[in-house]
Amino acid sequence: MKSSSKAVVKVLEHKREEGAIAAHIREILRELGEDPKREGLLATPSRAEKALQFLTSGYTADIHKIVNGAIFNERCDEMVVVKDIEFFSLCEHHLLPFYGRAHVAYIPKNKIIGLSKIPRIVDVFARRLQVQERMTQQIAACLQEVLDPLGVAVITEARHFCMMMRGVEKQHSSTTSSAMLGEFRRRKETRDEFLSHVRHQGLAGW
- Helix axis angle, 20-31 to 44-55, nearest 10°: 120
Indicate if 92 belongs to the active site.
yes
Give the residue among 40, 158, 153, 166 at the shortest CA–CA distance from 103: 153
8 A C-beta contact, residue 81 and residue 197: yes
- Catalytic, 17? Answer no
Catalytic one of 64, 92, 145, 200: 92
In angstroms, the CA 20 to CA 62 distance is: 24
Task: Tell me, yes or no, if 132 is annotated catalytic.
Answer: yes
What is the spatial distance between Cα 36 and Cα 106, in angstroms, rounded to a whole number?
50
Q: Is the dihedral of CA 132, 133, 134, 139 positive or negative?
A: positive
**Does the annotation mark 169 as catalytic?**
no
Q: Which amino acid is at 127?
A: R
Distances (CA, A) of 86 to 100, 157, 167: 6, 10, 25
**Measured between alpha carbons, how far is 155 from 71 in angstroms, rounded to an integer?**
23
Which of 132, 137, 183, 193 does the annotation list as catalytic?
Answer: 132
Active-site residue, 49 included = no
Cα gap 178→157, rounded to integer Å: 9
**Among 130, 160, 183, 193, the one annotated catalytic:** 160
- The verdict on whether 197 is a catalytic residue reads no
Point out the catalytic residue in the list 91, 130, 137, 183: 91
Active site residue 142: no
- Annotated catalytic residues are 91-94, 132, 160, 162
